[in-house]
Every structure is written in C-alpha cells, then in structure tokens.
Amino acid sequence: MEIFIAPAKSIKRRLRVPGDKSITHRALMLATMAEGESTITGFCPCADCYSTLACLQIMGLRASLRNGQETMHLSGMGMRNFSEPDCILPVGNSGTTIRLLSGILAGQNIFAVMNGDQSLNRRPMLRVVEPLRHMGALIFGRENGALPPIAIQGRKLTGIEYHTPVPSAQVKSAILFAGLYAKGTTVVVETSASRDHTENLFSYLEIPMIRIGHRVEVEGDIDGFPGFNLEIPGDISSAAYFIAAGAMTPDSRIEIEKVGLNHTRTGFLDVLVRMGADITITPSDEEGPEPSGNILIRTSKLHGIDIEGEQVPRLIDELPLLAVIATQAEGVTRVTGAGELRFKETDRIFAIAECLSDLGVTVNVLDDGFEIEGPVPIKGGRVRSYGDHRIAMSMAVAGMISKDGVMLEDAECVEVSFPGFWEILGGACGL
C-alpha cells in the first residue's frame, strides 16, 4: 500500500492514541498465568499484541473483546496449566512475543515451537536463550538458538544472577518470567535502566519482588496470583509522532490525552525539552501500576544536542523519529551508543539514512548512531518503509513538514504497532 503525505500547514487538535503495546503484551501473559478472571481496558489492538493473544489462546486462554476493541475479558489458566500446543505458535513480527514467551514456556511442562515472519526470523535470540539455558531451560533453534524458529521443552529451572551485557527490557522480562517458575532466587542486574513495565505489573499484582537501583530480584516457584482489572494508558511511543509534528509544524497546538508517563519511556520527552520544545505535562490522579497524563505540545524553535549513554535505552524506539526532528533543529544533533537499532525489524540506522537522503537530507552514518546538521529543508519525494513500522511513521512526519509531500511505500506495516494511525493522522492534520 502506498500513501501520499501532504505538507501540513497548521495542526490544532486534541486526540488519543491506542493503549501501550508493551504493557498489553505483559498484561495478556500475566492474565493467562493468573487464577480466575481478568479485565484489560485500553487493550492495544495491534498486530503484535494479537500475535501474543493468538499464541496464548492456542495454549488454552479464553478471551473475548467487549466495547468494540477497548476492553478484553480473560479467563486465566493458572501458572502451570498451559496446554501443549498441537501446532507451531505464530509470533508474527513480534519480538516481544517470542522473547517473553520463551521465559514462560521454559518453566511449563510442555513442548512448544515458536516461529515468526521473515523479518523476525532474522532477529537475534541468543541474548534471551543463553540466560534461560543457564537456568536449565532446554531450547533449540537455528544456529544453536541464535535465530528462530525456537523450540522449547519446558522443565524445572534454577534461579540465577544475570548481568545483562546491554540493557534490554525483553531480556530482563524473559528472565524474570522464568524466575517465577525457578527454584530459589532469580536476579537481573543492568548497567542502566530499561523499561520496567514487567516489574510494575509484578508489584501491582503483589508478586514478590525486590528492586534496588538497576537490580531486580524475584523469588521462584510461587503458588500463583489472582485475576485482576487493569486500565492501560495510551502508548507514548505512538504519541511521539504527533508530539513531533506539533513541535515542527507552524502555528500548531496538539494535546494528547491519557498517555503513559513511565519514567523509562519518557526519554523522548526529556530530549525534546532539551532541544527547546514547548511541552506541558498534566499528570493524572488515577491509580494504577503506571503513571499517565495529558501532553500538550506547541510549535517550537529547536536546537541540536548530543544523545548518548543512559539516555538511549529510554528512547530507542523514537530514535528514527528524532532523526527527522534533527533536520529542523539549529546545529548538530548526534546520536551514539544506539547500535541496537541495527537489530530491529530492519537496520534502522541504514533505513533512516536512506530515507532522509532520498528526501534531500545528508545523514552522517555512524556505527552506533547518526549525525545530522540542521535546519535543512525536507524537499519531498518517494521513500520505502523497509517493512518497519517505526520507519514508516517517521517518514509520515517527514512528509508533514516537507516542501512537496512524501509518497510512502509499504505503509501498511504501521498496523504492527499503531492500528488506525493513518486515520488519526488524517483527522488531526486534515490530510
């Protein structure tokens, strides 16, 4: 599917984005492990989350959507009552699904095989497989478990202390999930903070856990926990595209309601403020495992900055979008320490550099990041998404601030994380 994104003259809108994708994945898994009924409001109806749901339903989860696609009712199976699947579990394009489920399946007394699409089956798995093997998991895969398909024979596990070479919420979460089934204590230590949605949900469900700095500890072989009710806030990674558009489009004012404000996810907002963005945050007083609130963004005069070190994990998904923002900032914006971008749905450093080059922008590509000097006009033209939803949505924002508009190829890939993106974009910007 091709979509033409025309330049936007001014945006003045109030809008909402779908529920947080990362929280939805984890909530589905925990609702399956729980005893009894659970209700999830704000379920993110994206392709990735439906991949998680499909895998869990194959293993016995009963779930139904109510109130359109907003509310999901689930009947949990308990910690150890997963049914052995009689087919391959289809994880699609979802790295979160295959990695987090690996931790849960490692402790089940069943055999399961997970397989993804062509893109996912090129993404590395060893950083999850190796610590799970240290816990006693029996895992097979291509290149000794480095690449999917992944086959897991669940069995008894033993807790470990694991220091992650690179901060990763997916690796940490897989180990913590496996730790709930393991004998003894499981500890994960990171050099800097990664997303902590798993820990927040464990705390919300009163699953025994200790957090001190970048160290997380869980006790294994737990009996279980009851079903729960959870309201999921809007996904700040989805909101980021409209925040960026509001900052760069002339005479604009965009307010986004009920967005998640988890401190491990707000690095994008922190960086934009450092660049000079006019952002106002109004926290919500609603209770839950995650903070949320409204975000107001106005047209801003931006300047370039350096983004490095501990800042990077907190905005890894938004870095392609920040490359677009850097084109409109005065001076040099330099991103380093983001080598992880090369192992996403595509090599995002290569993809964003190619796309911006096609639109008349020079990008200095680094091994672990990029450098852009602005402001520089985005002329417009034709670009491809490389089948990557983050690249596609970043190019949509580029089209909004371009001179002649952008024709985007393979635009349908945004459904992986942001269903309805094009409809919301058109409504907000009059495209």
Mean pLDDT by 10 residues, the chain (431 residues): 92 94 97 97 94 98 81 95 97 96 97 95 94 97 94 97 94 98 97 94 97 96 95 96 96 96 95 98 91 97 94 91 98 95 92 96 96 96 95 97 95 91 78 50
Same domain, yes or no, for 39 and 187? Answer: yes
Catalytic residue among 317, 347, 388, 404: 317
Beta bridge partners of 307: 335
Residue appearing with tokens 């990171």: 190
Same domain, yes or no, for 227 and 237? Answer: no
Same domain, yes or no, for 7 and 31? Answer: no
Q: State the pLDDT at residue 68.
A: 63
Arithmetic mean of pLDDT over the chain: 94
Q: State the pLDDT at residue 430.
A: 53
Q: State the pLDDT at residue 70.
A: 77
> Which of 197, 231, 265 corresponds to the end of one domain?
231
Give all strands of the β-sheet with 406-409 in edge-to-edge order. Answer: 3-5, 406-409, 381-384
Same domain, yes or no, for 360 and 245? Answer: yes
Q: State the pLDDT at residue 64.
A: 92
Same domain, yes or no, for 95 and 14? Answer: no
Whole-number Å distance between alpha carbons of 278 and 106: 47
Domain that holds residue 127: 21-231
Q: State the pLDDT at residue 429.
A: 62
Same domain, yes or no, for 321 and 342? Answer: yes
DSSP-assigned states of every residue in 250-310: TT-EEEEEEEE--TTTTHHHHHHHHTT-EEEEEE----SSS-EEEEEEE----B--EE-GG
Same domain, yes or no, for 196 and 310? Answer: no
Phi, psi of 146 (to 5 degrees): -75, -25
CATH number, domain of 102, equals: 3.65.10.10
CA atoms within 13 A on the CB side of 416: 25
Q: What's the token pair of residue 129?
A: 């497989």
Beta bridge partners of 185: 219
> Which of 201, 231, 261 corresponds to the end of one domain?
231
Same domain, yes or no, for 225 and 319? Answer: no
Same domain, yes or no, for 304 and 175? Answer: no
CA atoms within 13 A on the CB side of 41: 7
Q: What is the Rg, in whole angstroms, of the alpha carbon atoms belonging to the chain?
A: 21
Same domain, yes or no, for 44 and 176? Answer: yes
Residue appearing with tokens 């990041």: 369
> Which of 231, 250, 280 corresponds to the end of one domain?
231
DSSP-assigned states of every residue in 60-125: T-EEEEETTTTEEEEE---TT-PPPPSS-EEEET-HHHHHHHHHHHHTSSSEEEEEE-TTGGGS--
The CA-to-CA distance between both ends of the chain, in Å, stands at 17
Same domain, yes or no, for 25 and 129? Answer: yes
Domain count across the chain: 2
Choose among 340, 317, 310, 391: nearest CA to 124.
340
Can 317 be counted among the known catalytic residues?
A: yes
Same domain, yes or no, for 41 and 62? Answer: yes
